[in-house]
Amino acid sequence: MPRLTVALTFDHDSISDGVRRGDPPVKMSHAEFGVRVGAPRILALLAARGIDSTWFVPGHTLETFPDSTAAIVGGGHEIACHGWFHEDAATLARDEEREMIERCATAVERVAGARPTGWRAPYWSLGGASLELIEDAGFAYDSSLMADDYALYRVRRGDRHTDTEGSRFGPEGRLVEVPVSWALDDWPHFEPSATGDRDGLSAPSKVLEIWTEELRYAHAHAPGGLVTVTMHPECIGRGSRMAMLERFIDAAEALDGVVFDRLDRYVAAWSASVRA
């Protein structure tokens, strides 16, 4: 394994959730920016820097914007699943969720030529059965949980917490977790909260400091590890934030032994090294 791997991941939500919710025009236009401006800008930067990345694309985005999808696939990036209409899995019935997962996997297979191996829950929200359904659908990894930072781990099945028996932890399954974190997500730093509160809008310099310090810490203390950054084209695609992303890439490239890679490849290499 390289000294440190950085995975730039993009949740290409676009208007998938706005369509489901019936969002008003301004919110829909904010989401459309991701397809119209953000994604092409990001893809141009990645091509210029020779970086392969992972895109979690809702089925609705995938099919509504075929040119955007083709540009991602054509750029050599991984397409992984992210719901159909960016559903909150905790609100779905089990059969509904199973059908949605299969619909997403089939749509990605149609455009990418191979069944996807990665799933990221929209809103990082999982229902009680979600991880089991994702594993049973043949996915190799999920990227929605936070129990580690720079190390992958296998997801447990069937944890039980009761007053009478306390906490009983189930056995590890096959599904690999690629952990995420709010600090390494562009959205909570840069976008208004759900109530419209804009106080949280950060200076890019602040976010660059957090992300770069995560990078340096992982480089020093987590050999062979992975730093996963979550971004959204409608958010990171704004000029000042693109400039920040370029500086973050510069900071990673300045460290010895740092590579950028797609999650499917990192997960496959990790799984092979654990088996060996």
Question: Should residue 87 be labelled a site residue for Zn ion when binding is judged by CB under 5 A?
Answer: no
Q: Out of 4, 5, 11, 244, name the contact with Zn ion by CB under 5 A.
A: 11
Cβ neighbours for 92, distance < 8 A, ≥ 6 positions apart: 100, 127
The single-letter code of the amino acid at 171 is P
DSSP state, residue 123: G
Amino acid (1-letter code) at residue 7 = A
Q: In angstroms, what is the minimal distance from the CB of 103 to Zn ion? A: 17
Binding mask 122-141 for Zn ion (x = CB under 5 A): x-------------------
Cβ proximity to Zn ion: between 116 and 122 the closer is 122
123: closest CA among 232, 245, 234, 264? 232
- Closer Cβ to Zn ion, 141 or 270, answer by number: 141
Tell me how far, at minimum, the Cβ of 56 lies from Zn ion, in Å.
7
β-sheet bridge partners, residue 230: 9, 185
The DSSP-derived string for 30-77 is HHHHIIIIIHHHHHHHHHHHT---EEEE-HHHHHH-HHHHHHHHHTT-
State phi, psi for 171 to the nearest 5 degrees. Answer: -75, 155
Amino acid at 73: V
Beta carbons of 15 and 28 less than 8 angstroms apart = yes
Task: Give yes or no for residue 13 binding Zn ion (CB under 5 A).
Answer: yes
Shortest separation between residue 58's beta carbon and Zn ion, angstroms: 7
By the rule CB under 5 A, 264 interacts with Zn ion: no
Of 139 and 270, CB closest to Zn ion: 139
The window from 101-109, 121-129, 215-223, 268-276 that contacts Zn ion (CB under 5 A) reads 121-129
Contact 117, 140 (CB under 8 A): yes
Quote the least distance from Cβ 199 to Zn ion, whole Å.
22
Six token digits for residue 257: 């032994």
C-beta of 122 vs 225, nearer to Zn ion:
122
Point out which span in 10-18, 174-182, 220-228, 255-263 binds Zn ion (CB under 5 A).
10-18
Q: Identify any residues that bridge with 87 across adjacent strands, giving them in sequence order.
A: none
Cβ distance to Zn ion smaller for residue 225 or 233:
233
Instruction: Tell me which DSSP letter residue 185 carries.
Output: B
| Options 12-20, 44-52, 88-96, 208-216: segment touching Zn ion (CB under 5 A) | 12-20
Which residue, 13 or 87, has its beta carbon nearer to Zn ion? Answer: 13
| Residue 29 Cβ vs Zn ion, minimum distance, rounded to whole Å | 18
Positions touching Zn ion (CB under 5 A) are 11, 13, 122
